[in-house]
């Protein structure tokens, strides 16, 4: 059993998300779990993101624009919690996300990470023409993403930090490494966050998304071939 309430450090990287940042921050501050450290890493925003972040009781850190992975990694370096969690600046946690995931760690001390489900939704400002271009499933989807995860710090450092060379799909790369390094994990059957669909979603608007995924798949296959060759020649 865990003693008291271990500190969970929550990292929100933000880049020009003044429209959505307040909702993201408030969803963390509304968590029913009592021991949370919230760090907002501003990745070179030129809008009101800094002003919005600093109006809340958060630890604010600014860096020149370097991408989501670099911002997450900066937040990890600044954090002090035994556990780490992440929230994209345009998404929203459910109020009991942290409490349920920490209860799972309490029930099984061998766990290193706990995931959950995501419910997608159209951002209210989207008009019908934009909604028609985006797939928004009615049912929640299992999410092995950073926003759905709470992880023990030592486990994340064992798996490795987020790849700063990947601007769009760092979660895919990181989770592939986690599987290869046998991360001890479970996924709760609950929705733990709401994923906002809007006009500037990375995964829906940037052409590099598909090419990055292909690059990650090729890298994984190359590692598997190298491992198989090592077994054959040993």
What is the DSSP annotation of 163-216?
-TT-SS-HHHHHHHHHHHTT--EEEEEEEEEEEEE-TT-HHHH-THHHHHHHHH
Residue 3: pLDDT band (50, 70, 90) is low
DSSP letter, residue 161: -
> How does residue 26 score in pLDDT terms, banded at 50, 70 and 90?
very high
Query: Is the predicted pLDDT of residue 215 greater than 60, yes or no?
Result: no
CA angle 175, 181, 185 (to 5 degrees): 65
Could you give the domains of the chain?
Answer: 8-201 (3.90.550.10)
Is 122 in contact with 135 (CB distance < 8 Å)?
A: no
Which pLDDT value is given to residue 208? 46
Question: Residues 10, 87: contact at Cβ < 8 Å?
Answer: yes
Beta strands at 185-197 and 92-93: parallel, antiparallel or unpaired: antiparallel
Backbone angles phi, psi at 88, to 5 degrees: -70, 145
Task: Give CA–CA dist 72/146, Å, rounded.
Answer: 10
Q: What percent of the chain has pLDDT over 70?
A: 84
Q: What pTM did the predictor assign? A: 0.86
The pLDDT of residue 211: 53
Q: Give tens-digit pLDDT for 31-88.
A: 999 999 999 999 999 999 999 999 999 999 999 999 999 999 999 999 999 999 999 9
């Amino acid at each position: 059993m865990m003693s008291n309430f271990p500190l969970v450090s929550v990292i929100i990287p933000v880049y020009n998300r003044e429209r959505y940042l307040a909702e993201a921050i408030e969803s963390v501050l509304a968590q029913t779990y009592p021991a949370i450290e919230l760090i907002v890493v501003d990745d070179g925003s030129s809008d009101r993101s800094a002003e919005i972040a600093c109006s809340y009781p958060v630890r604010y850190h600014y860096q020149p624009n370097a991408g989501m992975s670099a911002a997450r990694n900066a937040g990890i370096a600044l954090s002090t919690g035994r556990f780490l969690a992440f929230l994209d600046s345009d998404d929203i946690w459910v109020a009991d996300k942290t409490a349920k995931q920490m209860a799972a760690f309490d029930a099984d001390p061998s766990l290193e990470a706990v995931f959950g489900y995501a419910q997608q939704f159209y951002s209210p400002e989207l008009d019908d023409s934009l909604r028609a271009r985006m797939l928004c499933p009615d049912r929640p989807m299992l999410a092995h993403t950073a926003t759905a995860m709470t992880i023990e710090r030592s486990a994340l450092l064992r798996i490795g930090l987020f790849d700063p060379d990947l601007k769009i799909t760092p979660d895919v790369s990181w989770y592939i490494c986690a599987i290869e390094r046998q991360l001890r994990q479970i996924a709760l059957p609950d929705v733990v966050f709401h994923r906002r669909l809007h006009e500037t979603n990375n995964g829906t608007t940037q052409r590099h998304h598909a090419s990055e995924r292909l690059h990650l798949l090729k890298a994984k296959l190359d590692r598997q071939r190298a491992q198989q060759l090592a077994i054959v020649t040993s």
